[in-house]
Amino acid sequence: MSLAERDAQIIWHPYTQMQTAVMPTGITSAKGACLYDEEGNEIIDAISSWWVITHGHCHPYITSRVNAQMQKLDQVIFAGFTHEPAVVLAEKLLRILPGNQQKVFYSDNGSTAVEVALKMCLQFWFNSGAPRKKILAFENGYHGDTFGAMSVSSRSAWTAPFDQLLFETMFIPLPTAGNIHLLKAKIQEYEDELACFIYEPLIQGSAGMIMYEASALDQLLEFCKGNQILLIQDEVFTGFGRTGKHFAADHLIQQADIMCFSKGLTGGLMPLGVTTCTDDIYNAFLSQDKLKTLFHGHSFTANPLACTAAAASIDLLLQQNTQDNIARICQQHRLFREKLAGRQGVKDIRQTGTILAIEFYTAESSGYFSNLRDALYSYFLERQILLRPLGNIIYILPPYCIDNQQLQYVYDAIESALAEFSPHHR
Ligand SMILES: *Cc1c(COP(=O)(O)O)cnc(C)c1O
């Protein structure tokens, strides 16, 4: 039996309707921008394996560092103990983050990084003696799948079975030059009840790669700060070069109080989450009173192997060669975007750094559950490309090591898909 057949008998996959799903593809190895399946096919990983692989699969520098670390220290409780990988990673990370980020809290994934951020904010106000309990977020936002993260994410088909149990969040639309006054007025109404504002900077990934202006966001952030609403910048997706700069923060003037990281943090080798904060947040938990402690932790908090992978990945990010690759991908995307603009079948094409999204026109209703989505997914996989459309939106966000020839192969496949699936041609 193949891996896929053995899997199908006993495994339940994420975001997958198991009754109608096609057989999973069994992967036996990976290198650089490519995956290798059990039939020996080479598949270009054009979405960085769900947005996590930054420098390519099995990068020799990261794997060798982790290999050395695992001979030395595998895992140790992180309450009352510490270790070099956790300290080194915190030092490296703070060196490249906005200057106001001064403390590092570890967890395991993006959702937990968000949970920690929310708890920091709510308890900040609790500890202050003047509690604020409401949370502000963007419509269409996505911050993860645990209950707190779901609560501050947009209500959707994904959350419908749980909506009754999610805590109330105040949602506002993305800011534009036109609506900023309305948004400010709405926020002002609840001003002293709002504990924090959580947002995906510059781009809402899961919503369909919806992009918006840094300048409008800056205005909104400045206004929130003026009203003492704490800012949680969720850079789980945008961190570590994705937007063309190290962080989305590097496109903004206003600095957040708290930042969340995961996905590209370890270069994709291991799961890890990080929540960073300012000294102001941290200091609000310092007390002789034990009740003011942040009571949060996970068994694998700051796992030494994951921290080692992340530190190695940051080393690579800072190398000139990586920066050149990121700039090259941005440039290639730009050329392809200009080529496709106005093309029949293209409803919209947009880019933020290394992320390129193409919205297909569709006759049927678009959206996450459209049949077009399944057809496109299979179409690309048949051509040995992993692209995972969000409804009628195809996006490319490749590992930075992808070469121009591989990129061109993906662009060409998208062009032929446009011709094939455009409603005008049917
Ligand atoms: C993916 C994502 C998360 C959740 O991260 P997981 O590791 O999948 O739990 C949170 N926020 C944003 C912006 C994301 O894109």
pLDDT digits (tens, 9 = 90+) for 297-330: 999 999 999 999 999 999 999 999 999 999 999 9
Q: Is the pLDDT of residue 199 over 70?
A: yes
- In the reported structure, the alpha carbon of residue 111 is separated from the centroid of ligand 1 by a whole-number distance in angstroms of 6
Closest protein CA for atom 11 of ligand 1: 143
Buried b (16+ CB within 10 A) or exposed e, 238-265: bbbbbbbebbbbebbebbbbbbbbbbbb
DSSP 232: E
142 token code pair: 């996505």
For ligand 1, atom 8: residue with the closest CA: 110
CA of 273 from ligand 1 middle (Å) equals 10
pTM over cut 0.95: yes
d(CA 152, ligand 1 centre) in Å: 12
Alpha-carbon dihedral 162, 144, 109, 398, rounded to 10 degrees: 140
Best residue among 15, 107, 232, 262 to mutate for probing ligand 1, ranked by most atoms within 8 Å of CB: 262
Q: What's the rounded Cα separation, in Å, for the pair 264 and 273?
A: 10
Residues sharing a CB contact under 8 Å with residue 399, sequence separation 6 or more, in sequence order: 32, 33, 45, 48, 53, 54, 55, 56, 57, 268
Pick the catalytic residue from 106, 108, 142, 400. Answer: 142
Classify 346 as helix, strand or coil.
strand
Number of H helices, E strands in the chain: 13, 16
Residues 281, 124: Cα–Cα separation, whole Å = 7
Per the CB < 8 A criterion, the answer to whether 51 and 264 are in contact is yes
To the query of whether residue 199 is one of the catalytic residues in this protein, the response is no
Beta carbons of 350 and 211 less than 8 angstroms apart: yes
Could you tell me the distance, in angstroms and rounded to a whole number, from the CA of residue 321 to the centre of ligand 1? 28
Ligand 1 pocket at CB < 6 A: 109-111, 114, 142-144, 200, 205-206, 234, 236-237, 262
Write down all domains in the chain, each with its CATH number in brackets.
Answer: 3-58+320-421 (3.90.1150.10), 73-317 (3.40.640.10)
Whether 263 is a known active-site residue: answer yes
Taking a C-beta distance cutoff of 8 angstroms, is the pair 329, 398 a contact?
Answer: yes
pLDDT tier at 368, thresholds 50, 70, 90: low
In the block, residue with structure tokens 């290798």: 36
* The one catalytic residue among 234, 257, 395, 400: 234
Question: From the CA of 386, how far away is ligand 1's center (Å)?
Answer: 20
Assign 362 a pLDDT band (cuts: 50, 70, 90): confident
Average pLDDT over residues 38-52: 97
Radius of gyration of the chain from its Cα atoms, rounded to whole angstroms: 22
Residue 363 pLDDT greater than 90, yes or no: no
- Most informative mutation of 143, 145, 243 for ligand 1 (most atoms within 8 A of CB): 143
